[in-house]
Amino acid sequence: MPIALDLKASLKQNQARWRVNENLLNLAELPKFRLGGFSDNFVPAAQIKPLDFVNLLAVPTNNPFILERRLANGIPQAMVSKPALYIGSVQGLTAGEGEITSRDPIPTVVDWRNRWGWPWITTIRNQNGCEACWVFGAVALVEAMVRIEHCVWPWLSEGDVHKGLHATCCQCGNPENALNWMKDNGVADPGCFAWPVTTAACSGCGGTGGGPHDAVPYTPSSDRSGRSVRIPAYTHVGSVADQKRWLDTVGPLVCGMTVWTDFFYYGTGVYHKQAMVGNQPNKVEGGHVMLVVGYDDTLNCWIVKNSWGAGWGDGGYIKIGYGEVGIDSSAKVGLTGVNPDPWTKRRMHNGGMLESGNGASHRNFELLTTGPGNKVQHWWRDNSTTGFPWNKGVSFGNDAASCPTLISTTFNRNFESVHLTTSNRLHHWWFRQPSGPWNDAGIFGPPDTAGIPGFIQGNYGAPGNFEVVVRTADNKLTHCWRDGGGWHNGAKFGTNVAYSGASLVQSHFGTQGNLEVVCVLTSGKMQHCWRDNDHGMVWNVGVQFGNGVSSPPCMIEGSYGAANEKAVGNFELCVAVGGVVQHWWRNNQGDGLWRQSATFGHNVQSVISLVEGSFGFNLEVIVLRTDNKLQHYWRDGAGWHEGVVFGSIV
C-alpha cells in the first residue's frame, strides 16, 4: 500500500485534525520537497524581550484598517479614512466578507489572505529542487509588507536575492541572512532577474544535485538599483502574545520550524505531528522557513504560506497547531517601513503627480504643474506630517504650454517629465535622485504636437523604453518611444481626436502587457485604444463612451479587481466635463465595460493627475480650477471629498 494511503487510514483511526493531500494518494513515490532552514541557528523565542509596540510603530500607518487595529491595541496613530469596498472576489470570498474590523484588542482570527474583504498576500511560489526556503520566506514577507503598507501589488524575485548572495542551490540558511542582504541591496522584480527554474534536485543541505541551478549566472538588468524595494532592519518577535499582536497590527511573520516526514503529506485541516508514517516511525527531515499569514484561536493554529507550489497542501498553505514541530520555540521575524520602488508602482499614477519613496513613510506626493513664465513648478506634500501641507519646490524650464506628465523610473528612481511646449513640440526633463538638480533632456516629437502627452516607462527592453502617445494637429494620435538610440516617432492611429491626455498605461493584459490609452474625440466622446504587444504590436481603436467631454482624460490601472500581483486591475479614469469631474472605471475582471461611478467637484477646468496611493487604496486627484488654482480631491469608502486649494499656474 502507498504510504499516503496508509497515513490516510491512520489519521482517520487516530481522529487526527488533518488529512492527507488527495493528489498524493496513488503515487508510488512522494515528490521531493526541499527545505533549507538551519534549525540549529533559529533564534530561540525565549531570548527575545517583549516588544514596545507604541515606540516601534511611532510612524503612523496610512492603512485605515491597520489604524483601527492599532488604536484598539492602544497604539496612538494619526487618523486616515477607509477605502471603497473591494470590487470582485478573492479566494472564494466576496466584498464585505471575511474578518470584520473590531475594537476587540485580541481578534480570534487574523488571516491576511483575505482581511476586511481585501487580498494582501501574493501568489504561492515554488522553490523547486533547491534548499532555499529561507530566501522564499523572506521575500514573501517583503511582498506582504509592500502590499499592506502601500496598497500596491509587488512581484519580487527570490532569484535576485539567492543569486545576489552567491548562494548555491544546496546551501541552507536562515531568513535573517536574506533580510540582511536585502537591507543593504534591496530586492528586485523577476524582470530584472528571475528565479532560475531548472532540473536541480538537491540531496540536502550542503549536498549534491544543484548543478543546473548553480550554472545560471547572476545577471540582473543594469537598472536594478531603481527597480528594487528597499527595506529597513527586521524585528524579532518572541512571545506568542507578541506574535499575535504583530500579526493583527502590522502584518505577517517569517517562522522557522522542524519538518517531520508526515508534513510532506499534508492536505487540509490542522497539522499535528504523528508518531508513525506507514509502518515506520516519523522522523526529522530538516529545518524549514515559511511565512505565517495569520492565526485562528478557534482551531488553535497558525495559518502558514509555504513555497512548494500551489499543488501542495491546501492550495500551498498549511494550518499548524500551536506549539507543534518547534514553530513556537523560535522567534518569528517581522518587518515594517518598507520602501517600494517606482517599477512596482508604475501603473498607480498618471499626469503631473506621483507617490514617491521620499519622506519618513516613503509615500510623499510629488507634483509638477506650470508656473509663471511658462516654467514647470515642482510641488510636494509630506505625507508623514500632520495636516499634510503642500510645499513649493524648485521651478525649471521656460516653454511649458501645459502641465507636464511625471513618472519615476528605474534609472536610479529618477523623476522624468515630458510636457507640451509653446512651440508645439515635446520637452523631456529628468531629476537626479536623491537631491537633484532637474536636467534638460531635450526637445523631441512631431513638429505639430497638439495635446497633453501620455508618458510611461514600459517593459520593452531592460531598462524599459520610454513610451509617449500624444495628439498631433491632424487629429490623430502619434506613438513615440525612446530606447538607447534616443527618441523615435512611431505609428499614427485614431481619427477625429480632439484631446490626448495623461492616459497611457501598460496594463496587465497579455503576457507582455498591452499599452492602453484613452483620448477624446471631436464628437465629445472618449475612445479607448490599445496596442496588442503579444500580436505584432498593432494599435487598435476600440469602444467609445461618455459625452460632452472637452478636456484631457487621466487614467491609471488600479488595485480594484486585482486579486493578486499577476491580475489585471480596473482602469480608473477622471475627466473634467462642464466644470465638474466625472469618474469612470472599466471592469477588467468582468464584462470589460466602461461605467461612470460619480461626479464631483466644482469650477474645474481640467484633471491634471490621478493617483492610487498608500492611503488605503484611496484615489487622489489634482485638478486645475477655472481660477487657475490647484485643488486636491480624494475618494475613500465614503465617497469623494473636497480638499485643499493651493498654488496657481500663473
Model confidence over 535-553: pLDDT tens digits?
999 999 999 999 999 999 9
343: in domain: no
pLDDT at 90: 32
Does residue 414 share a domain with residue 284?
no
Residue 339 lies in a domain: no
- Rounded CA-CA distance 487/473 in Å is 20
Mean pLDDT over 264-293 rounds to 96
Angle value at C-alpha 304, between 300 and 308, nearest 5 degrees: 140
> Are 276 and 393 in a shared domain?
no
Burial (CB count within 10 angstroms: exposed 0-12, middle 13-18, buried 19+), residue 472: buried
270 falls in which pLDDT band (50, 70, 90)? very high
- Choosing from 305, 334, 363, the residue where a domain stops is 334
Say if residue 618 is in the same domain as residue 641: yes
Q: Mean pLDDT across the stretch 571-591?
A: 98
Residues 325 and 422 in one domain: no
Between strands 515-521 and 526-532, the pairing is antiparallel
Distance between CA atoms of residues 618 and 558, nearest Å: 10
Burial of 598 (0-12, 13-18, 19+ CB in 10 A): middle
Q: Confirm if 390 and 415 have CB atoms less than 8 A apart.
A: no
User: Considering its fold, how many domains does the chain have in total?
Assistant: 2
Length of the chain equals: 650
The answer to the question of residue 545 being in a domain is yes
pLDDT tens digits for range 49-82: 999 999 999 888 989 999 999 999 999 876 555 5
pLDDT tens-digit map of 433-464: 999 999 999 999 999 999 999 999 999 988 99
pLDDT score, position 97: 32
Q: Is the separation of the CB atoms in 296 and 303 below 8 Å?
A: yes
* Predicted structure pTM score: 0.95
Q: What is the mean pLDDT of residues 347-355?
A: 98
What percent of the chain is predicted at pLDDT more than 70?
96
CA distance 287 to 259: 6
Residues 289 and 359 in one domain: no
Output the CA torsion sign for 426, 429, 430, 431.
negative
29, with CB counted inside 10 A (0-12, 13-18, 19+), is exposed
Please check whether residues 324 and 384 belong to one and the same domain: no
Q: In degrees, to the nearest 5, what angle opens at C-alpha 156 toward C-alphas 151 and 159?
A: 170
CA-to-CA dists, residue 270 to 17, 71, 266, 303, angstroms: 5, 31, 9, 9
Please tell me the distance from the alpha carbon of residue 634 to that of residue 641, in angstroms, as a whole number.
5
The CATH number given to whatever domain includes residue 434 is 2.120.10.70
Does residue 161 fall inside a structural domain? yes
**What is the predicted pLDDT for the residue at 91?**
32
Residue 340 lies in a domain: no
Last residue of a domain, one of 276, 299, 334: 334
| Whether residues 368 and 261 fall in one domain | no
Statement to judge: residues 452 and 575 lie in one domain = yes
| 290 lies in the same domain as 379 | no
Residue 332 pLDDT greater than 90, yes or no: yes
Last residue of a domain, one of 300, 334, 368: 334
341 lies in a domain?
Answer: no
- When the pLDDT of each residue in the chain is averaged and rounded to a whole number, the result is 94
Tell me, what CATH number does 96's domain have?
Answer: 3.90.70.10
Q: Does residue 177 fall inside a structural domain?
A: yes
Please check whether residues 356 and 293 belong to one and the same domain: no
Residue 225 belongs to a domain: yes
Whether residue 272 sits in one domain with residue 396 = no
Determine the structural domain holding residue 576 and report its residue range. 349-646
Res 101 pLDDT > 70: no
316/412 same-domain check: no
